[in-house]
Amino acid sequence: MGIDKRKARKNAFRIPEATLFSVAVIGGSLGSILGMQLFRHKTKHLSFKIGMPVIFILQVLIAVLLVVGPIGIDFI
């Protein structure tokens, strides 16, 4: 977020939004959210304002499910 904000100020080639979301999806959602607030970047875009927290929540849920394991599912 910081690099893209700096590039935006200099009117340089920007980082595509798809790339920013891809970084969040592969595990950088918390950093993306913190970067949005720290650099005040993409905070007015609804897709980022809602999308980044949703990705983070899904990642936390997946992590919890991986640690806890399936609850009450027996195939035998």
- How does pLDDT run across 57-74, given as a tens digit for each residue? 999 998 888 888 766 555
What confidence score (pLDDT) does residue 71 get? 63
Q: Is residue 40 part of a domain?
A: yes
Are the C-beta atoms of residues 23 and 59 closer than 8 Å to each other? no
- 29-49 in b/e form (b: 16+ CB < 10 A) is beebbebbeebebbeeeeebe
Q: Is residue 75 part of a domain?
A: no
Residue percentage of the chain with pLDDT more than 90: 80
Q: Is residue 39 part of a domain?
A: yes
Q: Which of 63, 61, 51, 64 is nearest to 25 (CA)?
A: 51
Q: How many domains does the chain have?
A: 1
> What residues make up the domain containing 45?
2-61
Q: Is residue 9 part of a domain?
A: yes
